[in-house]
Structure 1
Amino acid sequence: MGDALLRDLTDDEARRALVCKWGSVDPDVLPAWVAEMDYALAPPVVAAVTAAVAAGMTGYPRFERGGALGEAYAAFARRHYGHQVDPGQVLPVVDVTSGVRLLLDVLSDPGPMVMPLPAYHPQLDIAQVTGRRRVDLVVDPDAARAELDLDRLDALLAAGARTLLLTQPHNPWGRAFSRAELEGVRDVVVRHGARVISDEIHAPLVLPGAEHVPYLSLDGTAEHAVAVVAASKAFNTAGLRCAQIVTADPATLERLLRAPMARNDSWSPLGVVAAVAAYTDGDPWLAALVDRLAAQRELLTALLAEHLPEARMRPLEATYLAWLDLRAYGYADPAARVLERGRVKTAPGHHYHPGLTGHLRLNIATSPQRLTEIVRRMADALVTEPEPAPR
């Protein structure tokens, strides 16, 4: 299955390659939970990493800012987003969540961190890890479209919060926030002298009909904002361990460079090689991936209409992670139900929004055939047959 550029892994290949997503479930379970894709790696990444391993590149990375990685990311950002990035303002870090932690530790003032909910669940405790309190900016689960409540953000910052952790494109809502929305965020943050950490790991995965606006591309953001980016989500290379911190203010970068080495977990030289290859030579493969994900989005819409017509899916503008409201089917934890009765593993909604019932996150980065079977099994589990009438 697939085409010359994008190839679907077979089940056996997926179990060998994706040891978390596929290797941690029973053989009869279809995995659609963690954010990994069921596709073979992009050939330029395979070639680059294979050559690096053959050359014995398994030691420590080069500890530098900019370099080949900075040049590669800057060129990628210019081509894809029209964003002018100074390569020398790009700093490696082991992964996006570690980058967020580093930025909170080094740059943020003491005080609470604002977290829009639902949120990428490994980051729900990141404020506490850095000695801060998390305050939630809750997105209304009944809203037709996820939008940040700027009045509420203003109130939280006025009450003492000092940092906004902004995930954009948003996981799990699948939103690509517009320029006007981000300008509204900027205006509120600047009014309170606060800081933004912008997690943009899903930026390459914006689907047709939307666009990614880097937060740092907005006027008036350089002194209060830093972005964390990576090729790992779009190119399925999370295990190679390399993300990038992007700054636009030399003074901010110098503060990060002065931080003790122990604050920045060591990234992998193989991750650098993979990221440079992806950013430099991966555009054709990425275009094929986005085409596939757009087709999967349309397929999911049709499958839900046919098999789960009472499901609500907010517009999926980016990522391959669909946020489904299944409250109409009456299960507080539909993910548990579809695992037990349908043998499909999804991500429970309450992992992303503590206390929220009736939601789950569904990974659609698989083959059309698997996605069709996943939704069919979910429907079998959730749509309860009427009890037979007593005789």
Structure 2
Amino acid sequence: MTDAPLPELMPDASVADPYGTLDPATLRHPDSLKWTMYPEGVIPLWVADMDYPVAPPIVAALRERLTRGLGYHQLLGDPTLGTALREHLATQGLTDLPEDGLTFLPGVVPGLYAAVNGLTQPGEPVLTMTPIYHPFHLAITEQGRRVAAAPLREGQTEGGQTRWEIGWEALEAAAQGARLLMLCHPHNPTGRVWDAAELARLRDFVLEHDLYVVSDELHADLRYTDAPFEAFAADPRVRDRTITLTGPAKAYNTAGLGIGAMVGHDPALVKRVKTAAGGLMGHPSALSVTAWQAALRGGGPWLADTVKYLRGNRDVMAAFLQTQLPWVRFSPPEATYLAWLDLRAHPRAGDIQKFLLEEARIAVHDGPIFAPEDLKPRYQGFIRLNFATSRALLVEALERMARALGAEVPVQR
């Protein structure tokens, strides 16, 4: 590790930094799981929410909503939200949704559980790709199914950077006996946005193996590319076998206002999945409906500015790792505000999350959590790092990490 200063990583003092005034003392309020899970002085870069204030149009809409009654809202499906969401989904290729093709949920994770329950039987394998957001494999194992895991493979870009790719041979082997593919698009934790060629091949695979698909597209609006997002079900060939899950929680930083949507072009399939959960599913709250309405109606400028800031944070982190910790393997995410870092070359890879917490005073997610039990050792030494904070806090966290990791000499793998 070099001790050379990296002034280019910090914001230019002459340029306004919209999130430069974030104060840890203010962020550490008693309602924040992220900031109170660990002791004071630890920079929390773990759970997936942003440190940024909620978009002003959402705050204004919530305040206005509180001037009216809080009795039962449109529990059968809010028509205002439904119309706005259909228009938004159409830009992602989900056009011509039938009348009964959209239903609201208390969140995306309940949709994952409902899809497993409604489309598979106990004891059956359920296909997914690892590493993966851990409720995927929990939704499988906690309901008595088996995880049929296909590990992603480490490819490379033309520039030589690591690029996570679908492991087609592993996917083929894992698919035997499965009836459901659980897809994460964009992918959490690697940040991949599956491209047109990958999606086309994956659709062919689904048709060949006669699979249902539940596609978690929660991070679709947090992309670092100007190309339109292509939903998995944008192709009419797979529409009648796909359930798409989405929500505002990640893009608009409203995870505390639980709401999501289940979308499908086959109303019978949507009904089958929702019915599988029955009364256990619950429903979104009145305020969560209002928040999502406001996000779709007026949150676009805020989201665009925030994605631009996040892209800057991503690039700052990439530059820092390249110069200060070049042995860390890292593929800059194409979406999400989550970085998947490979620290397996470090002598403390076996307890890297604990090491960084104790020695660097930063909290990150440990890699093995993103795999089912039998594959956890494969991801020991990886971490997932949330970079949705101020530029200054991110750089401080990275510098702490470099100092801690630099105290050891990486080993060759």
Scaled by the length of structure 1, the TM-score of the pair is: 0.91
Equivalents in 2 of 1:301, 1:260: separation in Å? 42
Q: Is the 8 A contact 1:327 1:357 kept in 2?
A: yes
How far does residue 210 in structure 1 lie from its aligned partner after superposition? 5.7
- Change in CA separation of 1:71 and 1:87 when aligned onto 2, cut-off 3 Å: farther
Equivalents in 2 of 1:368, 1:18: separation in Å? 23
1:268 is aligned to 2:285: yes
Equivalents in 2 of 1:20, 1:50: separation in Å? 23
Deviations 1:238-264 (A, max 9, x none): 111100111112322343465564142
Superposed counterparts of 1:291-370, under 5 Å: 291-332=308-349, 333-353=351-371, 354-355=376-377, 356-370=379-393
Residue 39 of structure 1: aligned partner: 52
1:379 is aligned to 2:390: no
- Change in CA separation of 1:260 and 1:83 when aligned onto 2, cut-off 3 Å: closer
Letter aligned with residue 200 of structure 1: E
Secondary structure of 1:248's aligned partner: coil
Equivalents in 1 of 2:395, 2:228: separation in Å? 28
Q: Is the 8 A contact 2:46 2:364 kept in 1?
A: yes
Scaled by the length of structure 2, the TM-score of the pair is: 0.86
Equivalents in 1 of 2:227, 2:362: separation in Å? 30
- Change in CA separation of 1:25 and 1:87 when aligned onto 2, cut-off 3 Å: farther
1:122 is aligned to 2:109: no
Q: Is the 8 A contact 1:204 1:234 kept in 2?
A: yes
2:146 to 111, 133, 148: 133
1:155 is aligned to 2:178: no
2:114 to 98, 102, 113: 102
How far does residue 107 in structure 1 lie from its aligned partner after superposition? 3.4
Letter aligned with residue 250 of structure 2: K
Residue 389 of structure 1: aligned partner: none
Letter aligned with residue 76 of structure 2: E
Q: Is the 8 A contact 2:184 2:217 kept in 1?
A: yes
Letter aligned with residue 103 of structure 1: A
Residue 14 of structure 1: aligned partner: 27
Identity of aligned residues (%): 35
Q: Is the 8 A contact 1:72 1:279 kept in 2?
A: yes
How far does residue 151 in structure 1 lie from its aligned partner after superposition? 3.1
Secondary structure of 1:360's aligned partner: strand
Deviations 1:31-78 (A, max 9, x none): 101101010100111111122233242x44422246222211112223
- Change in CA separation of 1:306 and 1:63 when aligned onto 2, cut-off 3 Å: same
- Change in CA separation of 1:207 and 1:30 when aligned onto 2, cut-off 3 Å: same
How far does residue 142 in structure 1 lie from its aligned partner after superposition? 7.1
- Change in CA separation of 1:220 and 1:328 when aligned onto 2, cut-off 3 Å: same
Letter aligned with residue 404 of structure 2: A
How far does residue 106 in structure 1 lie from its aligned partner after superposition? 2.2
How far does residue 219 in structure 1 lie from its aligned partner after superposition? 2.5
- Change in CA separation of 1:260 and 1:99 when aligned onto 2, cut-off 3 Å: closer
How far does residue 358 in structure 1 lie from its aligned partner after superposition? 1.4
Q: Is the 8 A contact 2:20 2:391 kept in 1?
A: no
Secondary structure of 2:289's aligned partner: helix
1:64 is aligned to 2:82: no
How far does residue 14 in structure 1 lie from its aligned partner after superposition? 1.4
Identify which range, 84-93 or 267-276, moves more after superposition: 84-93
Cα RMSD (Å) of the superposition? 2.3
Residue 175 of structure 1: aligned partner: 192
How far does residue 9 in structure 1 lie from its aligned partner after superposition? 3.3
Q: Is the 8 A contact 1:207 1:294 kept in 2?
A: yes
1:24 to 37, 52, 55: 37
How far does residue 350 in structure 1 lie from its aligned partner after superposition? 1.3
How far does residue 120 in structure 1 lie from its aligned partner after superposition? 0.6
Deviations 1:264-305 (A, max 9, x none): 222212111111111121110110011011111111111112
Secondary structure of 1:125's aligned partner: helix
- Change in CA separation of 1:351 and 1:217 when aligned onto 2, cut-off 3 Å: same
Q: Is the 8 A contact 2:153 2:167 kept in 1?
A: no
Q: Is the 8 A contact 2:155 2:164 kept in 1?
A: no
Q: Is the 8 A contact 2:213 2:241 kept in 1?
A: yes
Deviations 1:167-219 (A, max 9, x none): 01000000000122112111111112111100011110011266521011112
How far does residue 380 in structure 1 lie from its aligned partner after superposition? 1.2
Structure 2, unmatched stretches of 5+, are 1-10, 157-161
Equivalents in 1 of 2:170, 2:299: separation in Å? 40
Equivalents in 2 of 1:228, 1:328: separation in Å? 36
Residue 284 of structure 1: aligned partner: 301
Residue 91 of structure 1: aligned partner: 103
Equivalents in 2 of 1:259, 1:339: separation in Å? 41
Q: How many residues are matched?
A: 383
Equivalents in 1 of 2:72, 2:370: separation in Å? 35
Equivalents in 2 of 1:4, 1:380: separation in Å? 26
